[in-house]
Amino acid sequence: MPILKIPQADLIKLMTDEGIMADVTSGGLTPVLQARDQSKAIPGGWSEIVSYYNGNQYVCIFHRLLDAQGQVTSHVHPKDAVIQGSRYRDP
């Protein structure tokens, strides 16, 4: 499957139009933590890469920052998604 590189704003719009953003925020997709490391931007915080699945089918990946208390900050954005058989990635 070829990877189409598109700006993050366009990826967010595609994901919103397809209902993926709503599924991620409502818990309709299964999150799988792929990586976690100390954040360079937030003292005591964490940087995470999380994949989301619908059953066994991969849907998307998000990068998010957590504060020292483990709460997700306003920095949450998609990096990659499969939408209607095409794979999109934020360059």
**Signed CA dihedral, 30, 56, 65, 40: sign only:** positive
Please report, rounded to a whole number, the percentage of residues in the chain having pLDDT higher than 70. 100
Domain that holds residue 27: 3-89
Residue 75 pLDDT > 90: no
- CA separation for the pair 62, 55 (Å, rounded): 17
Number of domains forming the structure of the chain: 1
**49-68 tens-digit pLDDT:** 999 999 999 999 999 999 99
